[in-house]
Structure 1
């Protein structure tokens, strides 16, 4: 994702201003992820744009609670209350708690996992409880979940998850992503493009996958078309 943003010749971001932190495979533990977000919260400024991209496994535990499964998750979904504090998952509420500490007023959260839409209830509740102030009204919080809470997200589509594939397509100087024909692609337009393309491609594969997109507050330009 960061590589694609850097490749845009008319991007909003200068290459030297894009700072990427990557956590992969066995390093993707609860402690590493939450610790990294805590570290970033001390470096990020309110004027920065923050993007959190998670591609992996997601599950709805008992009680309908969405969780991101870590590399060392053992597959059990029983006794949901005992799992909220476990080291092998990160629950939706814990994600929101970490995001509230990020001072950036522009945040884009991308979850390419099964059942990712299950994150919405917790995130939206916390968003309205914690951030509905004069400052929060001026922020941009954009949440892109690859599938509804009851759907599985397709993986292995041209080297990525299907949703990630369509998001990347939307960054490739894509005229179709520019819905208002102003020669710019905004965060809102980018999400709508990926949502529609994901659903359409999934249908051709005899699969139902309808991404859940929430845009709260201010939109912003991602890149200008050549």
Structure 2
């Protein structure tokens, strides 16, 4: 009997979550748990949609800059252009020199040069993504600015501009939390707010017509983007008294990343 999934794409995903940093001033509550839940949900929802599923999870001390780069390169070497790739980063992000930087586990903050020399920065992220052949790619950034870098409530315009530059430069569909430290620490229902909504959407709600989905049984990138854009502000307004709006940039046609049932 022929395998009905034989000609389907494969799914490749790298899910990174850092809550317990080497530098304890960066400590978060939910980032590692969020990455673990995302890996589990992508695997579960991908069954029956993808020919094969390859997910590499990295949590806390596993998530060094070199290890993240190596895992991405290894996954990229296995992909075909017709496959689907998802990169999920949860932890601290920082804007420096107008560019976005993801803070790996081992970074110890002495001064701004620590960010320049030891982070996973804009240019390195672009280099790694340029090696990914999958034409259908989704980048998810659930990162917040550390209190070690800034004390403002919420992201500044420069932070959002840096993320927008990265979104534009990757040429790939990107969703970003745009959240502050308070929400990352307190979270919602055991997760960061953004990832909580993502998981809720992946479990089927993003496909439902009452949430502006098409109810076709599959969760697409545009449905997930619409769902987070609609529900993250509702939760943050109710819990913290102000709305946080996720950022998004849709590149190319939408594509499915999981089954709704």
- Closer/same/farther in 2, CA of residues 43 and 153 from structure 1, 3 Å limit: farther
Corresponding residue SS for 1:20: strand
Shift of 1:152: 4.8
- In structure 2, what is the Cα distance between the partners aligned to 1:91 and 1:37? 15
- Closer/same/farther in 2, CA of residues 92 and 152 from structure 1, 3 Å limit: farther
Q: Which runs of 5+ in 2 are unaligned?
A: 1-37, 145-154
Shift of 1:68: 0.7
- In structure 1, what is the Cα distance between the partners aligned to 2:46 and 2:115? 45
Q: Does 1:59 align with 2:59?
A: no
1:47-126 correspondence runs (5 A):
47-61=82-96, 63-79=97-113, 83-84=115-116, 86-87=117-118, 89-114=119-144, 117=160, 118-125=162-169
Contact 2:212 2:223 in 1 (8 A): yes
Corresponding residue SS for 2:55: coil
Q: Does 1:4 align with 2:41?
A: yes
- In structure 2, what is the Cα distance between the partners aligned to 1:38 and 1:108? 16
Contact 2:221 2:257 in 1 (8 A): yes
Contact 1:186 1:220 in 2 (8 A): yes
- In structure 1, what is the Cα distance between the partners aligned to 2:202 and 2:169? 30
- Closer/same/farther in 2, CA of residues 125 and 9 from structure 1, 3 Å limit: closer
Question: Which residue pairs with 1:143 in the alignment?
Answer: 174
Contact 1:29 1:70 in 2 (8 A): yes
RMSD over equivalenced CA pairs, Å: 2.5
Give the alignment's TM-score, normalised by structure 2: 0.69
Contact 2:82 2:135 in 1 (8 A): yes
Give the alignment's TM-score, normalised by structure 1: 0.79
Contact 1:167 1:190 in 2 (8 A): yes
Equivalent of residue 23 in structure 1, options 31, 54, 58: 58
Contact 2:222 2:250 in 1 (8 A): yes
Shift of 1:54: 0.8
Contact 1:178 1:185 in 2 (8 A): no
Question: Which residue pairs with 1:169 in the alignment?
Answer: 200
Shift of 1:211: 0.7
- In structure 2, what is the Cα distance between the partners aligned to 1:52 and 1:105? 13
- In structure 2, what is the Cα distance between the partners aligned to 1:204 and 1:103? 41
